[in-house]
Amino acid sequence: MTITKNEITAWLKETNESKLDELWHRADKVRHENVGDEVHLRGLVEISNYCVRKCGYCGIRVENRSIQRYRMSADEIISCVNDAKNFGYGTVVMQAGEDFGLTANFIAGVIRRIKAETGLAITLSLGERTEEELVLWREAGADRYLLRFETSDSALYEHIHPSLPNKKSNRFEHLRMLDRIGYEVGTGVMVGIPGQTFDTLANDILLFREFDIDMIGVGPYIPHPETPLWQESDGLSLPTNRNQVPNTELMTYKVVALTRLVCPETNIPSTTALATLNTESGRELGLQRGANIVMPNITPTEYREKYEIYPGKACLSETASQCNFCMTGRIISIGRKVGRGPGSRRKKSVD
């Protein structure tokens, strides 16, 4: 039975706890029936914090001069990927700012080495790169690409994610291009960005259904003091702010659960941003309300604090090995199993 936009909006506005228990149960049941009890682990390597963009929400935007920039070498990346392989992860995710210092050939070389040396599935999350680059990387062996559309309100999108000169940013077009090239595509949105209304968020959730999506990541928007949106972020969660979606933990669980109902078979991570709002049990609650993926951070500790897209990020001072131990413990503690292998939704391109 499909869920309508009115129903989605009603759930987003629901405050009654016992009513919400119904939503959590439904999402958990749909998750269990469609993707099972295994939780797949995808090792996240944050390979560079250089970025050409001026995104209003993001702490590694080009205009933030207070962070030290880094770019990992191929050997450093491969060493992290070997950790992932040893921990039994089936996939590595290489994420970065939009950094053209990560040249097409450099990334293609790293992809070929990862495939040759570990055979792991490879996900890229490197922003809006050219078609030529994306084709080269796909041919080199990359399997998936993550690019959140952030919001489906085009005016709000341009406000929070200004286009580069002479090139209009259109992430929906980019997602279609990635799909055409043969990537499994992941997308998602932030919950509670200033200016995001319940109506827009309901549209976002319905749009997830339109793409044949491998993964949908949703996390709360967390204001960063070194960004323009910081100024606009006062009072996001005040009940007087009637149309504004609050950037709360509860709202994020609702979006995770509704995303599961809309896309029963997709992979949904319980995100680090969620764990940042509730370090105690955010990961577990995400997994119990629709999610089936976690992305342990395998970035070397010295670089983690420099990849500060938002402040107070969970797991900042941990090593890859500590993150692995912690994540597997959390999965087992809620009666779920640690998944092995790439955890691919569409088997054709990865297995």
Whichever of 54 and 113 has its CB closer to ligand SAH, that residue is 54
What is d(CA 300, CA 323) in angstroms, rounded to the nearest whole number? 11
Quote the least distance from Cβ 274 to ligand SAH, whole Å.
Answer: 10
Q: How far is the CB of 245 from ligand SAH (least distance, A)?
A: 13
Q: How far is CA 85 from CA 65, 121, 326, in A?
A: 35, 10, 17
Structure tokens at 84: 């992932």
- Closest CB to ligand SAH: residue number: 310
Nearest approach, Cβ of residue 309 and ligand SAH (Å) = 4
Residues that bind ligand SAH (CB under 6 A): 57-58, 95, 97-98, 125, 127, 147-148, 150, 190, 219, 221-222, 224, 273, 309-310
In angstroms, give the least distance from the CB of 18 to ligand SAH.
30
The amino acid sitting at 82 is N
Compute the least distance from the CB of residue 68 to ligand SAH, in Å: 18
Determine the Cα–Cα distance for residues 328 and 37; give it in Å rounded to an integer. 13
Minimum distance of ligand SAH from residue 99's CB (angstroms) = 8
CB of 103 to ligand SAH, least distance (A): 16
- φ/ψ of 58, rounded to 5, equals -105, 130
Complex with ligand SAH: residue 30 or 244, whichever CB lies closer: 244
Looking at the Cβ atoms of 120 and 309, the one nearer to ligand SAH is 309
- H runs (alpha helix) in the chain: 5-13, 17-35, 74-87, 104-117, 131-140, 154-160, 171-181, 198-208, 229-232, 249-262, 272-277, 282-288, 301-304, 320-333
Nearer to ligand SAH, 169 or 328 (CB): 169
Q: How far apart are CA 228 and CA 243, in angstroms?
A: 21
The per-residue DSSP string of 83-145 comes to HHHHHTBSEEEEEESS-TTS-HHHHHHHHHHHHHHT--EEEEE--S--HHHHHHHHHHT--EE
Looking at the Cβ atoms of 83 and 308, the one nearer to ligand SAH is: 308
Nearer to ligand SAH, 30 or 222 (CB): 222
- Residue placing its CB nearer to ligand SAH in the complex, 36 or 311: 311
